[in-house]
């Protein structure tokens, strides 16, 4: 009887160890792609080139005008990946002309984040404000670019990337000259006063 009990106990332990060695169940496409460490396999393209399918490794695409929007096989997933990548830089210092974790300027943060996902944006906030399509702030959603004039001249010189929208509260990640890469809100008095426009670059 004792021998039989020991055998059953050994069998249960063996089964449990086998179960624990199985890979975790992936419950969403987003989780699956993140676990696979995104390798540019979403077939990113511009709307004007929708008929041109990429083959093999994803090539860089450049968005340079308001006539083109970015699309891919799963645009929502791509936006989430870009948001996650930009938020990974929160805490990095501000550096004029910077494009690395050792220091970013506002457009450098977005330029680098997008470039790492095979999308080439213009390099300056002023030029970025000319791509995609203009939308009202109350229609903003995740993935939009948001622009400000912080130089007192009324001209665009600052850009952020919308990471969340809660009613009238549009939250964006950006590299500020004083605090480096942070998340701010359009409900803050300073950004209410300096807000200029919002552009949608994803179809």
For the chain, helix (H) and strand (E) counts, in that order, are 6, 12
Q: Is the dihedral of CA 149, 152, 157, 160 positive or negative?
A: negative
Q: Is 72 a catalytic residue?
A: no
The Cβ of residue 81 has, within 10 Å, a number of other Cβ atoms equal to 19
Give every CB contact of residue 80 below 8 A, 6+ residues apart in sequence: 30, 142
Determine how many CB atoms are found less than 10 A away from the CB of residue 156. Answer: 21
Which entry of 6, 18, 72, 106 is annotated as an active-site residue? 106
Catalytic residue among 6, 18, 72, 158: 158
| In the chain, beta strands by DSSP E | 45-46, 61-62, 70-71, 99-100, 103-104, 119-120, 133-135, 145-148, 158-166, 169-176, 180-185, 195-200
Residue 117 annotated among the catalytic residues of the structure: no
Report the catalytic residues. Answer: 106, 158, 174
């Amino acid at each position: 009887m004792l021998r039989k009990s020991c055998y059953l106990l050994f069998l249960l332990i063996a089964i449990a160890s086998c179960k624990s060695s199985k890979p975790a169940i992936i419950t969403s496409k987003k989780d699956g792609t993140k676990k696979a460490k995104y390798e540019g396999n979403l077939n990113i393209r511009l709307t004007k080139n929708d008929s041109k399918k990429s083959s093999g490794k994803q090539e860089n695409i450049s968005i340079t005008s308001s006539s083109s929007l970015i699309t891919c096989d799963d645009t929502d997933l791509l936006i989430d990946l870009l948001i996650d990548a930009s938020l990974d830089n929160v805490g990095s210092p501000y550096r004029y002309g910077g494009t690395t974790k050792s220091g970013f300027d506002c457009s450098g943060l977005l330029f680098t984040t997008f470039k790492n996902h095979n999308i080439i944006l213009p390099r300056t906030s002023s030029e970025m404000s000319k791509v995609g399509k203009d939308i009202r702030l109350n229609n903003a959603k995740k993935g939009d670019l948001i622009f400000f004039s912080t130089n007192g001249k009324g001209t665009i010189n600052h850009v952020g990337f919308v990471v969340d929208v809660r009613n009238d509260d549009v939250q964006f990640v950006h590299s500020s000259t004083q605090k480096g890469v942070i998340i701010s809100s359009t409900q803050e008095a300073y950004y209410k006063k300096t807000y200029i426009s919002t552009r949608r670059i994803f179809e």
